[in-house]
Structure 1
Amino acid sequence: MQRRDFVKLGSMLATTAVPTSVLAETTSGNSAPKPNQSIDFLQDGLLLSPKEYADLLMKLADEGKIKPDFYSNGGVVEELENKFAQLLGQESAVFMPTGTLANHIAVRRLAGNNRRVIVQEQSHLYNDTGDCSQILSGLNLIPLGENAVEFSLNEVEQVVTKTKAGRVEAHIGAIMIETPVRRQQDRIIQYDTLKAITSYAKSNGIKTHLDGARLFVQSVHTNVEPSRYGELFDTVFTSMWKCFNASSGAVLAGSKAFSEKLFHERRMFGGGLPASWAFAAVALHYADGFLNDYKLAWSNAEKLFSEIGKNERFTIELLKNGSHVVRLNVAKTNLGKFRESLLKKNVELAKPDDKGFWLKINPSINRNTPQNLAGYFLESIKEASV
């Protein structure tokens, strides 16, 4: 990869990476706090600015770590696919430009001629993709677990029985499960629940797909390796930008038979990008470090919560079956002013509601000490008192 090649993707990087004051360094092997760096409680990973993203690509290119792909095949893209197939406990994997396409192609191929697919009512595929699988692939999504994190095995059994008993016999082609569940504050479905449903599906000839966009976050909270989750399912997707800091991309993993010639289907949907190395190289750079980086981030977050919790105006709420989303309630405070004060200290929070904030823990918290961060929170609450 030559330096001049970066010119070709300069405008793309500028539009796909959102500017923010963070560095492209992972904390792995470089965990000394950097107090002047920005910390946010908004993202799943590090949100790299266009300059920081380009600087990292230049560094990787200078080190000879970027082998060009051709229409998303070969090169560093293939290296990424092999890495995540291993991490996800599958034989093979295929790069996809988006998670939406990864989920769509997975259930489309798994369902085959049995067009009914069971999904969570709260899932991304059911709510946030413009009915792509229904319109483009003729699938019939059956939502279960209304406004809940998960559905039960009993619900699955009822749907399977009802489907078979229709005047025109039909069959469930696939079951898709998302965990953590974004619309439920990234709450987790427990391993035993997943195992029970996938075991039932396998014994009844039903294929299964895991939407594991944030699966690596979940693994830290459950002490279950991503590969153990992946092994339960026929296919599994994980995002390359949520935790692994690429400006776009996803990996869809499964058996060799599933992945063989899948790039044709990817291209049919317009997803065969002429060059995907700019996404794959960055994700591969962070692939082996995220679990340790996030473990440290959660440990630092717990220390922060302990420190600020000594002030009666702060209350931290951990969610049942939660992952990296926590609730910070702040009493007797102008919440807007409190947020603005923290922003001046390079700490960014989401917009508040009536009582406080939702915080999302990510590795950016490792850039400062919990004690310093607690000091910022305590200074800001004094400035914002009412």
Structure 2
Amino acid sequence: MRRRRFLELGAALAAVPAAASAAAQGSLATTGDRAAQAFDVDFIADGRPLAPGDYAQLLMRLADEGRIRADDYSNGGIVEELEERFAALLGQESAVFVPTGTLANHLAVRRLAGSRGRVLVPADSHLYCDSGDCAQRLSGLNLVPLGAGRPCYDVADLVQAVQRSGEGRVATPVGALVVETPVRRHLDRMVRDEELRAITQFARANDIRTHLDGARIFVQSAHTGTSPADYGRAFDTVYTSLWKCFNAPSGAVLAGAKRFTAGLFHERRMFGGSLPAAWPFAAVALHFVDTFLDEYGRALARSRTLFAALERRGGVRVEHLTDGTHIVRLHLGSLDPVRLRRALAVRGVRVPEGSDGIVLLRINPTLADAPADLETRFLEALAEAA
């Protein structure tokens, strides 16, 4: 990537008015809080919130260091480097960049199921609830939801579903199944390792292909000690997000065996997903991926110190969720959540809006290098919210 060409992009990004960033913060901006990137600690994002100017400066530095090679419609260059890196990290032979996780999940089940178009999915999964029935409407698949109200189905649910599929008047074998973990609609609770093993063992025994929606699988790895590669290689395919943990503006990686990814870029383009230039997404994700687990580990340790100080104060309670990962509930008791949010904002700490006396705090790498007086800032804000 030549510096002269990149200067034009950098100038355009840096020229985005500050007002646009503030407007994007919605109700946060209306309280007089600062834009997200101005906070010392952020309890809303999965990763590090970056403003347009932050992206421009980072990409400029990476370009000056010769670390960006342009791609051609999402093929080659630094995108190929990204695919190779994430394939290794996810325990698979090969990987393909796609612009969104929605498309990654769709392409996975489309290829895995093949002519056996029945796919078993968690009833509360992103693919079933938040993807506009894309697999059904665009690929003719039949998604069968299991385990409603729970983070995931169990093997007993699978046994029943497979029996029903095979014993109908017209046998309709199951082609694939999907597991999502951590589970967004269940506050990023994780499916336990032993449950994942039982599901994948059942699938192999019944000739069912498996896909892991691992948008935040690196977060789960930090909590369990099981590597992303060990999670990924247990499934036929695995997807992870590039923006949730690795701060890219957008993007995802879908990994699997070479026979799975061969020619997949054609289907990516058919669905409008072959971006003419994907190098900005790849460059940012590659910059952050190798430090995420270390930074998140330090952030997790720092959060324990903070939460212990809040508990000692009294009047509030920190609730760690069963099978939880990076989200905790802060119970405010009689404190005013609006006043607390504003008091923290002026002290450089960003938290989401509360509901029913509870604020959801999300642990992320901004805590890894939090200021030494973070506990003092919180305690002062709590006093103002009383």
Could you tell me the TM-score, scaled by structure 2's length?
A: 0.93
After TM superposition, the structure 1 = structure 2 runs for residues 129-278 of structure 1, keeping only pairs within 5 Å, are 129-278=131-280
Structure 2 counterpart of 1:117, from 116, 119, 124: 119
Partner secondary structure for residue 368 of structure 1: coil
**Residue in 1 aligned with 2:304?**
302
Structure 1 counterpart of 2:315, from 291, 307, 313: 313
After TM superposition, the structure 1 = structure 2 runs for residues 13-52 of structure 1, keeping only pairs within 5 Å, are 20-22=35-37, 37-52=39-54
CA drift of 1:191 comes to 1.1
> Match of 1:367, as an amino acid?
D
Asked whether the equivalents of residues 214 and 238 of structure 1 are also in contact (C-alpha less than 8 Å), the reply is: yes
Asked whether the equivalents of residues 211 and 237 of structure 1 are also in contact (C-alpha less than 8 Å), the reply is: yes
Partner secondary structure for residue 177 of structure 2: strand
Q: How many residues align?
A: 371
Report the Cα distance in structure 1 between the residues aligned to 2:167 and 2:66, rounded to whole angstroms. 60
> Match of 1:22, as an amino acid?
Q
- Summarize deviations over 1:315-362 as a string: whole Å, max 9, x none: 100000000000001122222111101011111111111212011110
> Match of 2:81, as an amino acid?
E
Asked whether the equivalents of residues 21 and 38 of structure 1 are also in contact (C-alpha less than 8 Å), the reply is: no
Report the Cα distance in structure 1 between the residues aligned to 2:244 and 2:357, rounded to whole angstroms. 27
**Residue in 1 aligned with 2:281?**
279
> Percent of aligned positions with the same letter in both sequences?
50
Report the Cα distance in structure 2 between the residues aligned to 1:309 and 1:354, rounded to whole angstroms. 19
Report the Cα distance in structure 2 between the residues aligned to 1:278 and 1:197, rounded to whole angstroms. 37
Partner secondary structure for residue 187 of structure 1: coil
| Shift in alpha-carbon separation, 1:337–1:322, aligned structure 2, 3 A | same
| Shift in alpha-carbon separation, 1:214–1:340, aligned structure 2, 3 A | same
CA drift of 1:102 comes to 0.3
CA drift of 1:384 comes to 1.7
**Residue in 2 aligned with 1:381?**
382
CA drift of 1:216 comes to 0.2
Report the Cα distance in structure 2 between the residues aligned to 1:60 and 1:363, rounded to whole angstroms. 21
Report the Cα distance in structure 2 between the residues aligned to 1:3 and 1:170, rounded to whole angstroms. 56
**Residue in 1 aligned with 2:2?**
2
Structure 2 counterpart of 1:108, from 110, 118, 121: 110
> Match of 1:280, as an amino acid?
A
**Residue in 2 aligned with 1:34?**
none
CA drift of 1:81 comes to 0.4
Report the Cα distance in structure 2 between the residues aligned to 1:211 and 1:10, rounded to whole angstroms. 36
CA drift of 1:239 comes to 0.1
> Match of 1:271, as an amino acid?
G
- Summarize deviations over 1:276-318 as a string: whole Å, max 9, x none: 0000000000111100010011000011001111111121000
**Residue in 1 aligned with 2:84?**
82
Unaligned stretches of 5+ in structure 2?
26-34
> Match of 2:202, as an amino acid?
Y
Unaligned stretches of 5+ in structure 1?
24-36
Report the Cα distance in structure 1 between the residues aligned to 2:100 and 2:265, rounded to whole angstroms. 14
After TM superposition, the structure 1 = structure 2 runs for residues 56-67 of structure 1, keeping only pairs within 5 Å, are 56-67=58-69
- Summarize deviations over 1:90-123 as a string: whole Å, max 9, x none: 0000000000000000000000001110000110
Partner secondary structure for residue 147 of structure 1: coil
Report the Cα distance in structure 2 between the residues aligned to 1:367 and 1:345, rounded to whole angstroms. 16
> Match of 1:315, as an amino acid?
R
> Match of 2:352, as an amino acid?
A
Report the Cα distance in structure 2 between the residues aligned to 1:381 and 1:200, rounded to whole angstroms. 50
Partner secondary structure for residue 289 of structure 1: helix
Report the Cα distance in structure 2 between the residues aligned to 1:209 and 1:354, rounded to whole angstroms. 36
Partner secondary structure for residue 92 of structure 2: coil
